[in-house]
Copies of this chain bind each other. A is one copy, B any other.
Amino acid sequence: MPTMSDFHSAADRVRNWGRWGDEDEIGTLNFIDEEKMREAGALVKKGAVFSLGLDFGSGGPQGDFLFRNNPIHVMTVDGGDAEHFVQHSKDWTANPTAHQISQFFADNPFRFNDDMIIMPLQAATQWDALSHTYYDGKLYNGFPASAVTSQGATRCGIDKVIDKGIATRGVLLDVVAHRGDEVCLDPAVVITPEELDEVADRQGVAVGRGDIVVVRTGWCENWRRTGERGAMATTGLSWTCAEWLHEREVAAVAADNLTVEVQQSEIDGVFLPFHLLCERDMGMMLGEYWDVTALAADCAQDGVYEFQLIAPPLSVVGAVGSPVNPIAIK
């Protein structure tokens, strides 16, 4: 088993600190340039759109981490009671909210529904911001871990990447199809750089500078079928894939599972080393729970594994992650 020393050597090789200046907070998204955007736009050929976002609601994938609940969606005004609102709330001065709503409804046919959400920013399909994971007291580009206070990330927050879209060329690497599995990979599978090359070769697609690589492990489809999360034992990328992505100057990496990488430990004494190398050393964002089921079916059918990919995070000020509904267009 690799050691902490191996981890640190790899970290030294992939570290991009200073590559785009001392104040840079977007890391490998810098690889996306105007030419790349034009290339991505040119991939729209069939006019087919795929939404990779899971549902946000009480049926979501949370349940194992006490700090992350499924989204709580609550109605503040709903349709069943609009008339009662008018009748009961117009004099309810102790509840100014109810009173205000009833005023909109008085002597007027206009009615509205309204709602709120309470959710971890990484409740379902999401982006990790570069401030999400770290080690040795430093975030990406050497910013101090203490730059993330109880009021959010003053450095490397998700709000810093907004101008990038995030839009570029996406490439699906379908490891499930490559292995000939029906729904999903075996939980014990560790996807190596070599296997990524094999998958790309089989699909006839090349991964290049500024791309977002999206890996299919079958997790989403299996979870929908069985309800099994296997939270701490899912298949995914080996930590050694970080260097593979680094060499190819990829802009970001995503997968259809919780952590992109495998969850079983590959290095003695380091939990989630791929996260640490990507987010903290390389400055590369991870996309998680991206549901590629329908996209993969289409790619299998037409043999085209590249597409325009637009995955815009919400600009939550100081957030260390964001829900996202990534859109793939072919």
List residues of chain A with CB under 8 Å of any chain B CB: 4, 33-38, 40-49, 51, 53-59, 65-69, 71-82, 84-85, 87-89, 92-98, 100-101, 104, 107-122, 131-136, 139, 144-155, 159, 162-165, 167, 269-272, 275-276, 308, 310, 312-321, 323-327, 329
Known: A96-B66, A317-B95. A148 touches B79 (CB 8 A): yes
Question: In whole angstroms, what is the CA distance A17 to B275 when docked?
Answer: 44
User: What 10 A-B pairs have minimum CB-CB distances, sorted nearest first?
Assistant: A41-B44, A80-B81, A34-B47, A57-B317, A37-B47, A79-B148, A98-B151, A79-B145, A109-B135, A66-B97
Q: Are A47 and B38 in contact (CB under 8 A)?
A: yes
Cβ of A148 to closest chain B Cβ, rounded Å? 3
What are some 26 contacts across the A-B interface (CB < 8 A)?
Answer: A49-B164, A51-B163, A51-B312, A53-B162, A56-B314, A57-B317, A59-B93, A67-B77, A67-B97, A67-B100, A73-B316, A78-B81, A79-B148, A80-B84, A81-B81, A81-B150, A88-B146, A92-B318, A95-B152, A108-B269, A112-B132, A113-B132, A115-B321, A118-B118, A313-B325, A315-B325
**Which B residues are CB-close (under 8 A) to A76?**
67, 74, 120, 150-151
Q: Are B118 and A329 in contact (CB under 8 A)?
A: no
How many monomers of this chain does the complex have? 4
- Partner of A151 from B89, B93, B134 at Cβ < 8 Å: B89
Nearest-neighbor residue (CB-CB) of A149 within chain B: B81
Q: Are A327 and B312 in contact (CB under 8 A)?
A: yes
- Partner of A111 from B113, B133, B152 at Cβ < 8 Å: B133
**Which B residues are CB-close (under 8 A) to A71?**
316
Known: A120-B76, A151-B89. A44 touches B51 (CB 8 A): no
Cβ of A273 to closest chain B Cβ, rounded Å? 8
**Which B residues are CB-close (under 8 A) to A45?**
38, 41
